[in-house]
Amino acid sequence: MRARRIGGGRGGGGARATRVRGVRARWAGRMPRTQCLGTAIIGAAFCASKCSAERLARDLAFFPPEPPSYALERRVRGEDGETREGDAEERLVAVANDEHVPASYARAFQRVLDAFDVTSVETVRGNEIVVMTCEGADNQSDGADVTVIMSHGNAVDAGEMAPFARKMAQQLACRVVVYDYSGYGQSRGEPSVADTYADIDAVVDFVTQKYGVGLDECVLFGQSIGSGPTCYFASKRENDIGAVVLVSPLLSALHVVSAPDAWCTPAKVFKRMDVYKNYAVVKTINAPVLLIHGDRDEVVHQSHGKALWEAICKHAKPSDAVCEPYWIPGAGHDDTYERNPAEFVRHMRGVCAVVRERYQKQRLAAGASVV
């Protein structure tokens, strides 16, 4: 799945995100056996953040694209289906931001945005965040109303994810929901670890209430930094989530800047102050998990995905449904879908099939009739 800035490049977020990605790429290529200097720098930054891991992550880990790829407008939809400016029965619509989207692509991008129902929901931390929903055809043909909830990667927003989300809705014949974290896109507030947790809580609650779906019909999809809130939510729900898909996932935030074979790394020295500790919470996810990772990933090394897979296998029960991981030859961090779209979709269809099968078995076991 490519998370890239529209019109070129590997993502938004400006020069700051580009510099950080460049540093990560250079480190990933030739990290020394010891990382004492890098660890000392992290320690100094921690002290400068008043020993607050949350504050340090807020300052260093989040890169919302500037400007956002879309703006929001309120319009009225007429009987002919066209949206117009007006006062009554207004609906929220996403509009391509001409400061972000090249003119040559603006019309095509707008057609993609028009395929989404757009709304905003409020989190428990008081931020209004944007939620976009694209419906797939024939979603309930076999009972389960499968809904994929996407938590996107860093340096992109929901608008940039919309083309991929629409493809998934069409190819998987299911509902796909993508949202922006607090401080990303047109969502209010500032990004932080705590806010991403509140964001996914609010989005899942919105989806289950608006569409009447159960958690066992939901597939939580987390890409890169989005694996953090995804694993957080899935791990706190016992036997409820339909399935989890982790694309280029993190072991933890500090593991991203820690060599897998080095000592005195930030992840080891500052383990207690680390955030997005997926390596710990993935063990408690009681749902099928599909791991997708490229073997040329220079942002989040493939060793992260493989270590998560080992943790899942170690703690899986004999009765658990297990999805074989998809390790992608030649894929980097942002092209896991483009490297082989057909194979990516095949694995995603397999996940949806598992969700539908488990849904039917659970309903039949409970004495319910599945349409």
Q: Which residues are catalytic?
A: 224, 297, 333
Are the beta carbons of 266 and 35 closer than 8 angstroms? Answer: yes
Are the beta carbons of 150 and 367 closer than 8 angstroms? Answer: no
Token pair listed for 352: 């949806």
Strands (E), the chain: 70-77, 83-84, 90-96, 117-122, 128-134, 147-151, 175-179, 218-223, 243-247, 289-294, 326-328
CA distance to 164, 300, 320, 343, per residue, from 329 (Å):
21, 15, 28, 12
How far is the C-alpha of 269 from the C-alpha of 254, rounded, in Å?
10
Are the beta carbons of 305 and 296 closer than 8 angstroms? Answer: no
In terms of Cα–Cα distance, which of 129, 136, 201 is closest to 158?
129
